[in-house]
Amino acid sequence: MAGIKLEAEEFARYARHISIPEFGVEGQQKLKAAKVLVVGTGGLGSPLLLYLTAAGVGTIGIVDFDVVDRSNLQRQVLYDERDIGKKKVRAAHERLKALNPLVHIIVHETMLTSENALEIIRDYDLVADGTDNFPTRYLVNDACVLLDKPNVYASIFRFEGQVSVFNYRNDEGILGPNYRDLFPEPPPPGLVPNCAEGGVLGVLPGIIGSLQASEVIKVITGVGDPLSGRLFLFDAASFTTRTLNLQRSKDNPLNGENPTQTELIDYQQFCGINNEQESQEVKEINVQELEEWKARGEDFQLIDVRESFEYEIANLDGELIPLGTILQEADRISRDKKVVIHCKAGGRSAKAVEQLQEHFQLENLYNLKGGILAYAKEVDSALATY
């Protein structure tokens, strides 16, 4: 590690690293020389950024476009009450600077897209993927394969987490599998709930994101055996762990035997999102219109497609039919009057309308725009929000 020198302050700060025999001064110098991009500053991004900053990774890039919301604080330990409403990358930058001023933080206040991903990732040695949606996961994976960068991957769902090191080239130059070898095709939109819809145990991203940080440090320093060619699964509920062996697939469209993809694609489209034609067919009413309907005595049915625990927190007196059962329970939907369908924020109810229209050709359905949250904000401030 010629050229990278540690100052006296750094010897003091990183003394516990340097004392580990296989880590030593050289491991710390490698961390100082490294440039790591953390995509997403949420549940996984929080422990990742805190530990990578504390560990003394020389340059850390952070990508996010979101703002801190009160519902983030249950697990996103990078932020506190004072950060609500602030841009995540800005709040994160302040916190990380206070934690370790020796680390150079680069802020990318943007959504990672097919247009900017190669340009942003190109300058880094390694990417840690802590995003919260399938299009960005495929985008990060493909960009890393095209640029020949390792992608330290983790994702979470309720009590479960997955970790792996993708696209890792070992000392002999042999390349490991990537996300496309494990999951060649994305699931259809809406089937696999994200954390906002499906929920997540607050401490879970703390556990999984810390494992991810550990893999980042191992890949940079060369200490230990990175989790390449293996997928780690953890279920906090039953405390089961499992490590599966992965192989590269000859059918991988990026680097299999007959690669068909040589550049980034439209990942929204690839994941089946953005089907504007379909969503245009959903008729909508807003909460004021709903109030007008009520005031003039319009005869309509109100359906709530959230889960029963959400109904308990707050409801609009609608009939509860959770989205997952809507097609089986479709005979409860009125055919001879207007039907207003609502959920928390309008997403699930739009899916319910689409599904009912597709399977039963109903034309009397209206999605309540903004859901019960909009109702609480604009009509009834006494309603509990969550």
Partner 1 sequence: MNIQVLAFGIAKDILGQQLLPLEVSENTSVLLLKELLVRDYPEFAKLAGFSIAVNNEYRQDDYLLSEADEIAIIPPVSGG
CB of 271 to partner 1, least distance (A): 9
**Pick 288 or 325: Cβ nearer partner 1:** 325
The closest of 209, 216, 201 to 40, measured between CA atoms, is 209
Q: Is-catalytic flag, 271?
A: no
From the list 55, 340, 343, 350, the catalytic residue is 343
**Pick 205 or 371: Cβ nearer partner 1:** 205
Phi, psi (5° rounding) for residue 185? -125, 140
For residue 61, what are the CA distances in angstroms to 40, 124, 154, 258, 275? Answer: 10, 8, 18, 34, 32
- Structure tokens of 331? 């005979």
- Structure tokens of 304? 């709530």
CB of 64 to partner 1, least distance (A): 10
45-55 and 204-221 are packed helices; what angle lies between their axes, rounded to 10 degrees? 40
The closest of 186, 184, 166 to 176, measured between CA atoms, is 166
Q: Residue 199 CB: number of other CB atoms within 10 A?
A: 14
CB of 233 to partner 1, least distance (A): 6
The radius of gyration of the chain from alpha carbons, rounded to an integer in Å, stands at: 24
User: Which residues does 155 contact at the CB level (< 8 Å), separation at least 6?
Assistant: 44, 137, 161, 162, 208
CB of 265 to partner 1, least distance (A): 16
End-to-end alpha-carbon separation of the chain, Å?
A: 51
**Pick 101 or 202: Cβ nearer partner 1:** 202
CB of 137 to partner 1, least distance (A): 6
**Pick 42 or 58: Cβ nearer partner 1:** 42
From the list 39, 78, 105, 195, the catalytic residue is 195
What letter does residue 19 receive in the DSSP assignment?
Answer: T
CB of 188 to partner 1, least distance (A): 5
User: Would you tell me which residues interact with partner 1 (CB under 8 A)?
Assistant: 40, 42-45, 129-134, 137, 154-157, 160-162, 182-188, 191-195, 198, 200, 205, 231, 233, 235, 238, 242-247, 249
Give the integer Cα–Cα distance in Å for 301 and 339. 5
For residue 174, what are the CA distances in angstroms to 100, 148, 348? Answer: 35, 12, 44
**Pick 204 or 287: Cβ nearer partner 1:** 204
Q: Are strands 240-245 and 230-235 parallel, antiparallel or unpaired?
A: antiparallel
CB of 191 to partner 1, least distance (A): 5
**Pick 185 or 299: Cβ nearer partner 1:** 185
**Pick 271 or 316: Cβ nearer partner 1:** 271
The closest of 46, 44, 47, 14 to 30, measured between CA atoms, is 14
Q: Is-catalytic flag, 343?
A: yes
For residue 299, what are the CA distances in angstroms to 192, 284, 316, 349, 366? Answer: 35, 17, 16, 20, 13
371-378 and 287-295 are packed helices; what angle lies between their axes, rounded to 10 degrees? 70
Active site residues: 195, 343
